[in-house]
Structure 1
């Protein structure tokens, strides 16, 4: 290793010269430094650098509202029928409409087809088109269509339902005319107030009906779901939410099937789960994961939002509002609100009971 030694030779003559040069330059250096300070100050004042830095940490918030099953049984259809042959539902949603309209994004499960006349309820649902108009006017933005009643009117019913929802500007997910449409529209990723939200949805089955080609229905299948979760991640969302149609009807607790798939979905990268199908309210759980700031939300069943069911506990459903907040690279649920909504008789008005 080389060592460098610096030797300073003493010389009075050279020292005097150096001192003269330094003192001569001091005024210039002082002026230059002052100019630099002035330039820097004016540049910072003129350019929005502080705002640019602040934008990276300024919180972004989006409110997502979820409801359960939007159903239409025979008595509901009869009640809505008007003398001129039209159907009116505006009074049904009157009390809940302000909450739904105020959300940045409102999501519901459309558990009927819009298969055209004759209109009927259970067991093979086909609701009037006016019902969909009322849902739109109430403020809903997104409808899931993969549920056990999506094939109640076969291929025609599935495709006509999509025709109607498309015509009214809904975002839908769960059923598709063909594979190409599915690849273009699914996973559904929406940007809400600067937050990218990916939605997935699946059903346990279709009441024994077979899908007619080339139609596609999202069913609970691990191979399909794992591929879809990968596709969702590739779209760089801030949060992934799975809306699941699963469970045992009228059961007040989640069954082993729901618990198994909830755990599996979270392991694969889903952030939160919203469930339905049992037609009753089931528990909500917050699941902590080691190394994760935000716990996972698992809603096993929201119950019915509107229906004519009369079995115990089927009158009520939940209306859940999530405030999703993003600060920098961290996205979390900053607020959770749950209201219980009851379908009252005989006019099927939705009433918030708590």
Structure 2
């Protein structure tokens, strides 16, 4: 009996030492201002954005899951920067080639080209087989695709995405933009929890532009999201970097990034010329495999 007990303990020890890890990478606003569009134009009238990502492509591609906030529409010609963004389709190609795996589409510019722009953006993203969260053609597609679950390396990650607004432009039915509404968010959190993911990550387009500190609404909403079961919170919109927090609750840690700042942009206001690449490594131990009892055939 002693030998059998020792053998079982050894098996459990070997199993538990096999820890699973996954690395998620987040960047801020992927924008396209007029000067960037003009700079990317080639002699044959097409567009080349590969230089924009040349120095960060290796870092982005190294992550298991790389996530970016697509703060432009792909609404087709005429291409335009601020205030109603519509970027060339080649921009999306460069984003894909840089190593991005997931795009967030709920932001205050997602309706810059109205219903046509929202739907064309989704169509282009789908043509590159890039999972996305935030905007939908209709309620049926939202129900099918949201929350967004990313499954990789034995992990299941739920991605939520919401925006504070759409610059006063109303959503045209049956299109849907995920706006910040606690009743809706809570329902989505419950839908995510039903799948029992390893993490629920809320990507929030919130706060005040150009402010280096989160406002009261951001702080209160972050507290509420964690209380409802969100694991980590990643913020965007202010176009400048805001503080990060690491909160501990028992043996759990919760990362809060209030604003990643810009990533690809041509803004000139103070502190808008930089942003964060935020890397989040999640770890877990797999459950030990059951050990079948030895059978004595004597």
1:296 corresponding residue in structure 2: 254
Q: Go from structure 1 to structure 2 and tell me whether the alpha carbon gap of 1:87 and 1:57 turns closer, same or farther (over 3 Å shift).
A: same
Aligned partners of 1:328 and 1:137: how far apart in 2? 33
1:147-296 matches, within 5 Å, as 147-289=107-249, 292-296=250-254
Is 1:57–1:328's contact at 8 Å kept on the other side of the alignment?
A: no
Aligned partners of 2:118 and 2:264: how far apart in 1? 21
User: Structure 1, residues 290-339: CA drift from partner, whole Å, max 9, x if none?
Assistant: xx21221110000000100011100010001111111146xxxxxxxxxx
Is 1:247–1:255's contact at 8 Å kept on the other side of the alignment?
A: yes
Is 1:189–1:197's contact at 8 Å kept on the other side of the alignment?
A: yes
Aligned partners of 1:113 and 1:324: how far apart in 2? 31
Q: Tell me which of 292, 295, 310 is aligned to 2:268.
A: 310
Computing the radius of gyration from Cα coordinates, the structure with the larger value is: 1
2:31 corresponding residue in structure 1: 71
SS in 1 for 2:117: helix
Aligned partners of 1:239 and 1:62: how far apart in 2? 11
1:58 corresponding residue in structure 2: 18
- Which ranges in structure 2 are unaligned for 5 or more consecutive residues? 288-298
SS in 1 for 2:18: coil
Give the deviation of 1:279 after TM superposition. 0.1
SS in 1 for 2:53: coil
SS in 1 for 2:95: helix
Aligned partners of 1:306 and 1:121: how far apart in 2? 13
SS in 1 for 2:124: helix
Aligned partners of 1:189 and 1:326: how far apart in 2? 18
Aligned partners of 2:258 and 2:68: how far apart in 1? 15
Q: Does 1:326 align with 2:289?
A: no
1:80 corresponding residue in structure 2: 40
Q: Which has the higher contact order (CA 8 A, sep 6+)?
A: 2
Aligned partners of 1:276 and 1:59: how far apart in 2? 32
Aligned partners of 1:270 and 1:93: how far apart in 2? 31
Give the deviation of 1:273 after TM superposition. 0.2
1:111 corresponding residue in structure 2: 71
Give the deviation of 1:288 after TM superposition. 2.5
1:26-45 matches, within 5 Å, as none
For normalisation by structure 2, the TM-score amounts to 0.91
Is 1:74–1:120's contact at 8 Å kept on the other side of the alignment?
A: yes
Q: Supply the RMSD in Å over aligned alpha carbons.
A: 1.9
Aligned partners of 2:14 and 2:151: how far apart in 1? 21
Is 1:105–1:141's contact at 8 Å kept on the other side of the alignment?
A: yes
User: Structure 1, residues 214-253: CA drift from partner, whole Å, max 9, x if none?
Assistant: 1011000000000000000001101111000000000000
Give the deviation of 1:284 after TM superposition. 0.2
For normalisation by structure 1, the TM-score amounts to 0.77
